[in-house]
Structure 1
Amino acid sequence: MQQPEASDKRAQADLVIVTGVSGGGRSTVARALENVGFYVVDNLPQALMVPMAELAAEAGGAARHTAMVLDVRSRAFSTDLAGAIKALKDRGFSPRVVFVDADDDVLIRRFESVRRSHPLQGNGRLSDGIAAERELLAEARDLADVLIDTSHLNVNQLRHRVEELFAGEDALRLRVTVLSFGFKYGLPPDADFVLDARFLPNPYWVPELREHTGREVEVSRYVLGQRGATTFVETYARLVNATAPGFEREGKRYLTVAVGCTGGKHRSVAIAEELARRLRDLRVVANAQHRDLGRE
């Protein structure tokens, strides 16, 4: 008899099973699911579907959203997907099956463009491999809750389609990290924008401010009160706000705006905190982090 707690965990698990024809776009679907917070297990043998679902339910947290990608590359692949799904449902799971498909002529062009043979082609033609796979996957296609035909979709359109189906609005929004740093410690390698705050007077040379940081009111007021500081912050806040919708359309979910000064203690910290605050006022999801604070 199932324990109530275990049953609840299974009911709350968000399981997606992705399958479909080779060349149809399974890998793009998998990456799109990762973008919206799913833990993706690729090339999973059918026999491991139930154990994997149980592990995901028990782990909870981010693993509660798990996608399992099945395809004919696995030697353990079988046609009894219906039995595997029934086994999941019998244990209290509610999996959703996504089948990715495309027209034969489109699949042939895709394989020829990358000069790859079909996994089931053997010594025959591409069309033979595609036909064999369609026969193998016929039942899986009939079981699909979501059928995505990628014949006329590019990669970005397919990704957007998956995100529309499986992501909440918050998961699709761009998240901005405003990262302060010290130039003397090197540029942050993950920065998308680099802003230089060294045009502002350095509080280090003000004795009563030297030991304080840009997170403290006295230093922040000093930095932001300098000529050009407010304009600097406002300009970049508008820039990030203006470009955010475009980044979201292109599938970028995280943006790092790095703000540097000499040591990463005063000016860059104060500017980063203020820029993050102004971005939040513009309804951009933003937070401030300080890479080099405390190194001096």
Structure 2
Amino acid sequence: MTSDSPSESSSSAIEPQRILLVTGLSGAGKSTALDVLEDLGWETIDNFPVRLLNRLVATSHQALDHQRRPLAIGFDSRTRGFVPSDIIDMLKSLTGRDDLSVSFMFIDCADAELERRYNETRRRHPMTHGRPLLEGIGAERELLEPLRRWADIVIDTSELSANDLQGHVRDLFEHNETGAMTLTVSSFGFARGMPPLADLVFDMRFLDNPHWIDGLRELTGQDAPVGEHIQKDPAFSAAFNQIHDLLLTLLPRYQAQGKSYVHIAFGCTGGRHRSVFTAESMAQGLRDAGFSPTVRHRNLGSRAADEIERGKRQGN
């Protein structure tokens, strides 16, 4: 006669409650991130009194609901009882529990961009208290710095539109319900700025530029003639294989360390030829190795502007 009761079997089958704590600088985009999570099926609570977090988690766990939705909890410097050291102590105790899967996301933004956003909306910063706006932003940044250092995920929205932030949060959580690592391979043009959220960036401007070849300029790295031209460059094969081997070394290590999201970006001048072909080829190589990358091309739709490529005939 076994000692297992139905309730014990039920309890042992329950997956750990998934909890994401979300904070950041006022105006950086915390509410936008929480809205996306809600759209993805998360239960979200904003401006939650963090001193009640242990009680909330206990109540959620007692429900013993197999269909529990993941829970995202937003809080910031305006929240009652906001003491970063106390919050970190609470996080340490929660992450040590087997019945919980806790992660922490911090939304950051540069001071100048926060100042622009507040001036544009004419909202009052919560920490100005009669002093200049930049001083209030600086005071909040200093207060939150311990939490930023503790965060599993940091998103800097300085150069992101609201749509960009929404897309990045979706990349992080839409296909990651099992806790598996989410892998993105992207292309971009250096002439239009570096991708602010990339973990690994590879500069492909050393390759011969198809922009200067008649018949290839208006094509992209997704077109076979462009790919054939790039592959003929003597430097391509060796560099590609070395990057591929490096990624196969790094990605399992990232996964073993619990990194939930990796963004690999390939850049060229305009973001339409060399970087696109390399990103597509690398994504296929990673699929062959058992990974499931998402591919994004930031500047593929941009016009092949001569003023961007002019003077770059040496592959810069």
CA contact (8 A) 1:111 1:118 kept: yes
With over 3 angstroms needed to count, the CA separation of the structure-2 counterparts of 1:6 and 1:108, relative to structure 1, is farther
With over 3 angstroms needed to count, the CA separation of the structure-2 counterparts of 1:23 and 1:88, relative to structure 1, is same
Structure 1 unaligned residues grouped into runs of 5+: 171-296
AA of the residue aligned to 2:62? E
Q: CA deviation at 1:74?
A: 1.2
Aligned mate of 1:39, from 35, 38, 43? 43
Q: Does 1:129 align with 2:136?
A: yes
User: Counterpart in 2 of 1:116?
Assistant: 123
Give the 5 Å matches for 1:101-112: 101-112=108-119
Q: CA deviation at 1:85?
A: 0.4
User: Counterpart in 1 of 2:82?
Assistant: 77
CA separation in 1, counterparts of 2:10 and 2:61?
8
Give the match's secondary structure for 2:101: coil
Matched residues, percent identical?
Answer: 35
Rg (Cα) greater in structure: 1
Q: CA deviation at 1:72?
A: 1.1
Q: CA deviation at 1:87?
A: 1.9
Q: Does 1:66 align with 2:71?
A: yes
CA contact (8 A) 1:20 1:100 kept: yes
CA separation in 2, counterparts of 1:167 and 1:146?
15
CA separation in 2, counterparts of 1:163 and 1:90?
27
CA contact (8 A) 1:32 1:159 kept: yes
User: Counterpart in 2 of 1:86?
Assistant: 92
Give the match's secondary structure for 1:119: coil
User: Counterpart in 2 of 1:152?
Assistant: 159
Q: Does 1:23 align with 2:30?
A: no
CA contact (8 A) 1:111 1:117 kept: yes
Normalising by the residue count of structure 1, what TM-score does the alignment of the two structures yield?
0.52
Q: Does 1:167 align with 2:174?
A: yes
CA separation in 2, counterparts of 1:164 and 1:4?
36
CA separation in 2, counterparts of 1:96 and 1:135?
22
User: Counterpart in 2 of 1:13?
Assistant: 17
Q: CA deviation at 1:169?
A: 8.0
**Deviations 1:52-106 (CA, angstroms, capped at 9, x unpaired):** 2222333335543000101011121111221010121233322110000010000
CA contact (8 A) 2:41 2:69 kept: no
Give the 5 Å matches for 1:115-264: 115-168=122-175
AA of the residue aligned to 1:102? C
How many residues align? The count is 168
| Worse overlay, 6-15 or 82-91 | 6-15
AA of the residue aligned to 2:107? V
CA contact (8 A) 1:97 1:146 kept: yes
AA of the residue aligned to 2:70? H
CA separation in 1, counterparts of 2:9 and 2:75?
29
| Worse overlay, 48-57 or 137-146 | 48-57
CA contact (8 A) 2:24 2:144 kept: yes
CA separation in 2, counterparts of 1:4 and 1:125?
59
CA contact (8 A) 1:49 1:68 kept: no
CA separation in 2, counterparts of 1:10 and 1:140?
30
CA contact (8 A) 2:84 2:144 kept: yes
Give the match's secondary structure for 1:95: strand
AA of the residue aligned to 2:104? V
- What is the Cα-based RMSD across aligned positions, in Å? 2.4
With over 3 angstroms needed to count, the CA separation of the structure-2 counterparts of 1:100 and 1:4, relative to structure 1, is farther
